[in-house]
Amino acid sequence: MRVTSPWRLINHIISGGAIFLISAQLRAAEIKVIGDSPLEPAIMKVVPLFEQRTHTHVVLSFNPSPAVKKRIESGEHADVLLIQPDFVEELAQSGKVRGGDMPIFGRVGVGLGNRVDSPAHDISTPEKLRQTLLGADMLVFNNVMSGNAFAKILDRLGIADALKQRIVRTSPLGIFDPVLKGKGDDIAAGTMPLIATTPGIKLLGPLPGDLQSFLSYTAVLMINSEQRDVAEQFIQYLSSPEAKSALTANGVN
């Protein structure tokens, strides 16, 4: 029978305790990430992969970019923001985020969706898109920048006046409610990840050709981040092959 010396046993206990403490510290690392709403379906898939690799807990919240900007300007703390570059420039001027290079980690396209029990429509060409929109009983899109861009597409197609009485403008996250509550051939125009993941809504497809417009997104570190190293690691991870694969699979190219 082997006898372990008391000192060796004590050293073993101390070493094990040290390893436990280090492991606990790694698991305790936490960052707060605030992102633009169209990114939510994809980022919700990416974050668990990052957490598994780094033992970091990521606290997520999402709002449209204008609301994210307002939250930060009102004094809310975060470590990383996932927003459109134009908003980053304004926040950098007020000293909230680090300025400089803003690498784009993803783009989100615009598409059309309707209720799952509504007819399927082919919108693969500008003319087919035009006919689909003219046949809609209601057309819903948001009242912020991306919605204004879609309104210009209606002008380009020459159907803005014809649809004027059937258009409903809402908040960015409110575009699906009128369609889900509607009874006719009602259509929502919005970002494809949100359309594809909203219960009761089916994605008809992306806007065709040069009618397509993309929302580009960058990840930026906040000046007051208390977890700078981990936050920078998260930003770098978004450009990794593993993250890119998960983003692409969920509508962020």
- Whether 30-106+217-249 and 107-214 share one fold: the answer is yes
Indicate the pLDDT class of residue 11, thresholds 50, 70 and 90.
Answer: low
pLDDT, position 86: 87
- For residue 208, the surrounding DSSP H or E stretch is none
**Domain limits of the chain?**
30-106+217-249, 107-214
**Helices 40-54/241-249 angle, 10° precision:** 150
In the structure, how many helices (H) and strands (E) does the chain have? 11, 9
CA distance 237 to 162: 47
- The reply to whether the predicted model has a pTM over 0.85 is no
User: Scanning the structure block, which residue is given the tokens 């372990």?
Assistant: 4
Looking at domain 107-214, its CATH class is alpha beta
pLDDT, position 127: 97
pLDDT, position 9: 44
* Superfamily for domain range 30-106+217-249: Periplasmic binding protein-like II (3.40.190.10)
